[in-house]
Amino acid sequence: MAHLGIDERQALFPPHLESAGGAAYYPVRAADRPIVLIGFMGTGKSSVGRRLASVTGWPRFDTDQMIATALGMSITKIFARLGEEEFREQESRALEKLDSKQLSIIVTGGGVILRPKNVTRLHELGTVFCLTANLSTLVQRLGRRSHRPLLQTENRAETIQTLLRERQPLYEQAADIIVDTTSLTHDQVAQSIQDSLALA
C-alpha cells in the first residue's frame, strides 16, 4: 500500500516523485482499471471523482446517487424511513451492478467498507484509493453541512471522532493507495491520483 500526501513526503518519497500540484505519489501500473474512491465523509471523494471524470473522459458512478435513484428518495430519507441496514444492502447491490471491464471513476459512500464482501468487490472493480484527512480538518469541513444522516447528533465533532476511530483501520486495510487530502485542493488530489496511475 502506498501513502500519498504532503505531511511525510520528505521521508517517504524522493523529490522526483512529486506531482506538479505538490503532492507526493507512488507510481503503480493500474491505468487500465477503473479508479475506486473510498474514505470518510468530508475527504472530498465526490468532488475529486468529478474532476477525475472530467480529465479522463471516463464515466463516473456514485453509489450514493445510484441508490437514491433506484429508491426514488434522498439518502437522508432512506436512512430515516428504511434504516441504515437497508441502505447498506442497497450499497452492496449497487456495487454488483458496476462493470470492472468499463474504465470509470467509482465514488463510494463512507461506510462501504463496513461489509467485507464490499471490500472484495471494490478490488474486483479497480484500483482502490482511500482519501483521508486529519480530524480537525474533517470537523471543519463537515461542520458546514447538516444533511449527513450519521451526523444528526448533539455533538457532531464527537460523532465524527468516534466514527473515524472505528472506520480508519478498515479504510487502510481496504486501500491500495492512501491519499492524505488535509493540505490539498481537490484539483491537487485528482492530479496526484492521475500521476500515480500515469494518466496525466
Q: Which domains does the chain have, with CATH numbers?
A: 2-63+101-196 (3.40.50.300)
Asked if 15 and 86 touch (Cβ cutoff 8 Å), the reply is: no
Identify the band that residue 181 occupies on the pLDDT scale cut at 50, 70 and 90.
Answer: very high
Average pLDDT of the chain to the nearest whole number: 83
- Which one, of 78, 83, 80, lies nearest residue 68 by Cα? 78
Position 104 scores a pLDDT of: 97
Identify the band that residue 13 occupies on the pLDDT scale cut at 50, 70 and 90.
Answer: very low
Q: From start to end of 19-137, where are the E strands?
A: 35-39, 60-62, 105-107, 127-132
Position 54 scores a pLDDT of: 94
Lowest mean pLDDT among 8-17, 68-77, 91-100, 191-200: 8-17
pLDDT digits (tens, 9 = 90+) for 92-132: 999 999 999 999 999 999 999 999 999 999 999 999 999 99
Burial class of residue 147 (count of CB atoms within 10 Å of its CB; 0-12, 13-18, 19+): exposed
Position 145 scores a pLDDT of: 59
Position 2 scores a pLDDT of: 57
Note the pTM of the prediction, 2 decimals.
0.81
Mean local confidence (pLDDT), 130-158: 77
Mean local confidence (pLDDT), 83-98: 96
Identify the band that residue 149 occupies on the pLDDT scale cut at 50, 70 and 90.
Answer: low
Position 127 scores a pLDDT of: 95
Q: How far apart are CA 59 and CA 102, in angstroms?
A: 9
Mean local confidence (pLDDT), 137-149: 75
Position 7 scores a pLDDT of: 39
